[in-house]
Structure 1
Amino acid sequence: MMNKGFKLMNYLCILAFLLMLHSCTSISAYFGGKKETLNQNNTEFYIPTGTGIEALKMLLIQHKIIDDVDAFQAVLDYKEFGNKKIGAGKYIIAPNTEYKTLINGFTQNSLDNGNKEVEVEVTFNNCLHIRDIASKVSKQIEMDSATFVDYILSDEILKKYGFNEAKIGALFLPNTYRFYWDTDHVQFIEKMASEFKTFWTADRMTKLKQVGLTSQSDAVTLASIIYREQDKYPEEWKTIAGLYLNRVRNGWLLQSDPTFKFCWGDELKGVERLTYEHRARDCPYNTYIYPGLPPGPIFIPPAAVVDAVLNAENNDYFYMCAKPRGNGLHNFAKSLAQHNRNAREFQNWIRNR
């Protein structure tokens, strides 16, 4: 009997100790959870992919969001919050947020996002090529630029989306998009492919055939030339589109200055006067040498310019020349004689300027 009583007493002591320990843990978690963050204004906070508990605490201290690591850890322990529960991404931490609310916000949900994770706006306007897109986008989300370029230019991915390396820029429509900050290169490209499919409606595909182009990338390529010719006055886009389509249909060289400039890359930066020597560079994109459209876009044009191509003006123009006064507008001509008069007028203005 004595032995049984002794065992019972031990059991009760252990149970009491565990209850006390649980009570202490609960009390620590309760008071820890009531502690508030230090920030007095809404604060942007980023959690990189793969961040663990220790790194998270360090980031919060470095950004002066928490100052009591023990209290923060007590809440983590009580919630059994492990590394796998951390939702990477961008957060906006409100002033004086309680620790328990902060941790709940960081908790990864069934969509693999943090409960309070917020989206960011991503834009990539004025890009010459894929590497430009990679550079700009990687500054706005967690995506790695080099990984993006290697991935999008791989044979497998080019084949998947139906492009080659020269034409792949046509997949990307410059705009402002919303992403979670921890978006990677695969997710970004999938989103762009979805936007591409949404843009190319049945109506646009019908118009593509009506203007005599065979693929979406052809429309984007022509739009890229138009935009490089005219990026100030959208009212000229449809006129220029009609002019270039006239040249394409009649088998004429496009003779677009932006295409031979593209062949030179950065070498013509700062050069004000372009010469026949510049035009003579042998390159597949030089439309003074090669007929038809270039192999692919020479710029990533806005979607509105693509629509201008699809809704091109039905005109008889074959020539264009900058107007005098350097305002960025053009004179258009149906005949070479009229074009030569326009060109002389512009050259006289240049000489007398």
Structure 2
Amino acid sequence: MNQKKIISLVAVAIISGLIVYGAVLMYQVFSGNTKFEENEVYVYVPTDSDYEQVKKIISPYVKNIERFEMVANKASYPENVKPGRFLFKKGMSSYDLVKAMRHNDPVNLAFNNQERLEDLAGRVGSQLEPDSLELLNTFKDTVFLKENGFNEENVFVMFIPNTYEFYWNTSAVKFRDKMIKEYNNFWNKERTAKAEAQGLTPIQATILASIVHKESVKKDERPRIAGVYLNRLKLEMPLQADPTVIFAMKKKSNDFNQVIKRVFYNDLVMKHPYNTYVNIGLPPGPIAMPDITALEAVLNPEKNNYIYFCASVDRFGYHEFAATLAEHNVNAKKYSDWIISQGVQR
């Protein structure tokens, strides 16, 4: 065999080897490398995780971790681990997985209708990396409270119900700072001026809105209820809001899971800061997270001469309003008789 043929054969062997190697490499890089049945899953990489920890986190979802490692090393991923929430889709290749681990997928965090700061912290802590205790401690930080004019009882007013976009690994401090920014944006000059026109600060307006929110689920009725409470405040008479009594009862017993359908006389005379039957003015903090319609109802109340109202037995969910005690007593008796006929207990 002459030298040229030998060289040719060697060249063919090398090229063939390179082709095979390339094919194997292409297979390792671009063939599917997942082992979950769902169409997609999220993996969560905590802050300060290293590459070894990432491999443990993703191993339940990756068919061949060695193939992933090969691509990760080529892409310098071990030196550039990022914390966050990452989306894996069924059938992704090692290349796709490494690429996905570089893209922190945001969380759409929605909250409304929360009753207490602790409830909100639990909801946020279930969707972001910080746990509820860390969030609570951050919300109640004394320096933060003082700088922003809050205290532990009323800091809950800071949270405006909405849907917000966060990265999963957002710290408790950054979450809080985003919330105070949203609070300040909401309470612009126009809304602050409307609150002042009612004799209220933004904090007071939110506390009153929380009562309005709890009094009626009928959004079209809320401006009228807000008007009644503002009339009572101007007359310096107790607000006499049943939802504040219910909140006081739950707070006193430290049981916010109990369902209270009816308030009795002994409850109305209970001494508690949140009982607006025995205390004149607003309670020290909100009794719930008011939605935007309740806030707007306080800022744009109906101008009326009503002082009293009670639940209607003819229009479920609505109330009957009265300007005099005599009118109110008629409405109240009608409702009381109906309650008794229904056998409603505590």
Measured in 2, the distance between the counterparts of 1:274 and 1:162 equals 34
Distance in 2, matches of 1:68 and 1:272, equals 57
Farther-moved stretch of structure 1 (272-281 vs 215-224): 272-281
Q: How far has the Cα of 1:331 moved from its partner?
A: 0.4
- Structure 2 partner of 1:14: none
2:55 paired with 1:57: yes
CA distance in 1, matches of 2:146, 2:25: 54
1:225 to 183, 204, 211: 211
Partner of 2:270: 281
2:303 to 311, 314, 320: 314
Which residue in 1 is equivalent to 2:186?
199
2:108 is paired with a residue whose SS is strand
Cα distance in structure 2, aligned partners of 1:239 and 1:166: 27
User: Which among 258, 263, 267 is matched to residue 243 of structure 2?
Assistant: 258
Matches within 5 A, 1:62-211: 62-63=60-61, 66-83=62-79, 85-107=80-102, 115=103, 117-211=104-198
Q: Deviations over 1:212-256 (max 9, x none)?
A: 21x1110110001111111x2111100000000001011111111
Tell whether 2:33 aligns with 1:42.
no
> Aligned partners of 1:235, 1:341: CA distance in 2, in Å?
24
CA distance in 2 between counterparts of 1:303 and 1:276 reads 32
| Sequence identity (%) | 32
Aligned partner letter, 1:199: F
Aligned length: 317
The runs of at least 4 consecutive aligned structure 1 residues that moved more than 4 Å come to 25-31
SS at match of 1:103: helix
Q: Using a 3 Å threshold, how does the CA distance of structure 1 residues 206 and 97 change in structure 2: closer, same or farther?
A: same
Amino acid across the alignment from 1:235: D
Would the aligned equivalents of 2:107 and 2:167 in 1 still touch at CA under 8 Å? yes
Does the 8 Å CA contact 1:29/1:78 hold for their aligned counterparts?
no
SS at match of 2:221: helix
Displacement of 1:119 in angstroms is 1.5
Tell me, in whole angstroms, the C-alpha distance in 1 between the residues paired with 2:326 and 2:206: 31
Given that 2:154 and 2:203 are in contact with CA atoms closer than 8 Å, whether structure 1 keeps it comes out as yes
String of CA shifts for 1:41-94, please: whole Å, max 9, x gaps: 53122222233222222232212xx222222222222223225x1222222223
- Indicate if the aligned counterparts of 2:138 and 2:176 stay in contact, CA closer than 8 A: no
* Structure 1 position 212 matched with structure 2 position 199: yes
Q: Please state whether the residue corresponding to 1:128 is helix, strand or coil.
A: coil
1:203 to partner: Cα distance: 1.2
* Residues 92-120 of structure 1: CA deviation (Å, up to 9, x unaligned): 2233222123212313xxxxxxx3x2222
Contact persistence 1:29–1:74 (CA under 8 A): no
Deviation per CA, 1:180-239: give whole Å up to 9, x if none: 1222211211111121122112111111111121x1110110001111111x21111000
User: Once the 2 structures are TM-superposed, how far is the Cα of residue 326 of structure 1 from its aligned partner?
Assistant: 7.3
TM-score by length of 1: 0.83
Per mean C-alpha deviation after superposition, the further-off stretch among 309-318 and 195-204 is 195-204
1:32 and 2:18 are equivalent in the alignment: no
Q: Distance in 1 between matches of 2:263 and 2:105?
A: 48
> Any stretches of 5+ residues in structure 1 without a counterpart?
1-24, 108-114
Q: Provide the residue aligned with 2:8 in structure 1.
A: none
Name the aligned partner's letter for residue 220 of structure 1.
Answer: T
Q: Is the 8 A contact 2:273 2:283 kept in 1?
A: yes
Cα-Cα RMSD: 2.3
TM-score (norm 2): 0.85
Contact 1:28/1:74 (CA < 8 Å) preserved in 2?
no
Structure 2 Cα separation of the partners of residues 40 and 258 of structure 1: 48
| SS of equivalent residue, structure 1 residue 195 | helix
* Residue 292 of structure 1: aligned partner: 281
Cα distance in 1 between the residues matched to 2:337 and 2:138:
51
Alpha-carbon deviations, 1:304-349, whole Å to 9, x = none? 2111100001110100011125712100001111111111222232
For the residue of structure 2 that corresponds to 1:234, the secondary structure is: coil
Gaps of 5+ in 2: 1-20
The answer as to whether partners of 1:246 and 1:316 remain within 8 angstroms in 2 is yes
Supply the AA of the counterpart residue of 1:225: I
The SS at the match of 1:194 is helix
